[in-house]
Amino acid sequence: MLRDWYKPKKPLKLLTRITKNSHPEKKYDAIVVGAGPAGASAAYFMAKQGLDVLLLERGSYPGSKNCGGASIIAEHTHKLFPNFWDEFECERIVTQQAYWLMTEDSILSSSFTSMKLASAPYNHFTVKRRNFYKWLCDKAVNEGTTLRFDHHVTEVILDSGQAIGIQLSAPHNIQLLADVIILADGANSLVGERSGLVPKVSPKDLALYVKETIALPAQAIEDRFNLPPGFGSLIGLIGYPTAGFNGTGSIHTFKESININVGMSVADFAKAGIRPYELLDRIKKHPLIKPLLAGGVTLEYGSSVIPEGGYNAMPELVHPGLLIIGDAASLVNGTHGFNLAMWSGYFAAQAAYQAKINRDFSKKTLSLYYTLLKESFVLQDLKANAKMADLQRNVPYLFDLYSRIANETAYHITKVYNMPKRAKRLFIFKKITSIQPLTKIFKDAWKVIKVIR
């Protein structure tokens, strides 16, 4: 089934005309499709500037289509919503970040902990997704946005290529009009695709993640992850979790629960013939992870996709009368998407406002959105990281093999052998090069350096 889905299809060219079901008596300044961080931020900033905004969400409450939690970058959020931590109750202030290189029976960790990260303006927070989505939606509504839940948009209405409104599915079955449409419907934008504005995302550019939220007492979390009360940890899991393919897992600590995520590209799932939940099970059964979860109760289980194609997989973001933001625009860097989503919402709001002032909703005026993105960390970081997706594709064994080599090296260094130190170093060298010849190690290292320099 995944293979069928894999086949690239040409985007469908649609020209939907206004029908008798439209509501032309009311025309909004802007309609935003999707009340995630991107859409809610765009709505908030447009409404704040006095635009008449309609925010449409298919779910029945904010974040109802998502599960678990995530981490947000304090600095990026603070610049948009100053001192947001006074208003929004985050789960934990992150003072510890770690990467665990894993094999089936060992973990080599690199971890940084500092209480310097524990005071304003902080570094990362963990947040419950639904609380964060709700907070952003409430802010948009407080500025005057009209927010409608259970409103599923099926496509954009185009008139001679100009976006002029949206079509709602049953039971509403109506068309609504606006000067500007902002697509913020998340990864794999089906609204964009159905409207012929976004090509079908290739499975190699889309990662599928499974995630589980497990309830544990706060004290147990703090004891098991060695955290002071109230503080949190973000742990990246590399190697074993993705069964020989390039992908990542993570553990996030919340007040009274932890999240485990794992995922890799949809194309790799198809190649591996492994089911997403099997990856999560492998991690939970790992001898060094299992004790961390002991006594925990599963609260939520879900899966979702992340656009991981990066800069080179971005669709065209500006169309006459329409802007694409957040995950729908493929604005994700690694697994960081909240910050890019909120900032793209902010930039789109600036462009929509300018277009309203000029009474000109052409692609040219709305291109301000792209200019602002380009001048910001959003596109600059994405561009800098553009080769990472290619590297992961071209060196498919990268994460798994080098996690194994790192663990093997650490094991032999740690283990006491009855031999002199010099002989032990030679012994370790031979062990490593029996896994991967030195020339190949250097070649791979050079490929990595070229990408990250």
Ligand X SMILES: Cc1cc2nc3c(=O)[nH]c(=O)nc-3n(C[C@H](O)[C@H](O)[C@H](O)COP(=O)(O)OP(=O)(O)OC[C@H]3O[C@@H](n4cnc5c(N)ncnc54)[C@H](O)[C@@H]3O)c2cc1C
**In the complex, which residues of this chain contact ligand X (CB under 6 A)?**
33-39, 56-59, 65, 70-71, 152-153, 184-186, 191, 209, 211, 261, 304, 306, 326-328, 332, 335-339, 341
CB nearer to ligand X: give 155 or 408. Answer: 155
Kindly state the smallest distance separating residue 186's Cβ from ligand X, in Å.
3
Report the distance separating Cα 307 and Cα 198, nearest Å.
Answer: 13
The nearest distance, CB 453 to ligand X, in angstroms, is 25
Task: Find the shortest distance in angstroms from Cβ 304 to ligand X.
Answer: 4
| CB 303 within 8 Å of CB 208 | yes
Q: What is the largest CA-CA distance in the chain?
A: 87
Q: State the nearest-atom distance from the C-beta of 137 to ligand X, in Å.
A: 9
Which residue, 253 or 407, is less far from ligand X as judged by CB? 253
* CA dihedral (424, 430, 435, 437) positive or negative: positive
How is residue 253 written in tokens? 């600590």
Identity of the residue, 48 or 431, whose beta carbon is nearer to ligand X in the bound complex: 48
Q: How far apart are CA 296 and CA 290, in angstroms?
A: 10
Q: Closest residue (Cβ) to ligand X?
A: 337
Q: From the CB of 320, what's the least distance to ligand X, in Å?
A: 21
Q: Pick between residue 57 and residue 222 the one whose CB is nearest to ligand X.
A: 57
- Closest distance to ligand X from the beta carbon of 73 (Å): 7
For the bound state, the minimum distance from the C-beta of residue 13 to ligand X, rounded and expressed in Å, comes to 19
User: Comparing C-alpha atoms, which of 324, 326, 321 is closest to residue 355?
Assistant: 321
For ligand X, the closer CB: 205 or 408 = 205
Radius of gyration of the chain (CA): 24
10 Å CB burial of residue 266 (0-12, 13-18, 19+) is buried
Tokens of 372: 């602002």
The H-or-E segment that residue 374 falls in is: helix 368-375
Name the nearest CA neighbour of 92 among 74, 67, 112: 74
Which of residues 77 and 365 has its CB atom nearest to ligand X in the complex?
77
* Beta carbon nearer to ligand X, 268 or 408: 268
Rounded Cα–Cα distance for residues 68 and 129 (Å): 6
Minimal CA–CA distance to 61: which of 145, 151, 174? 151
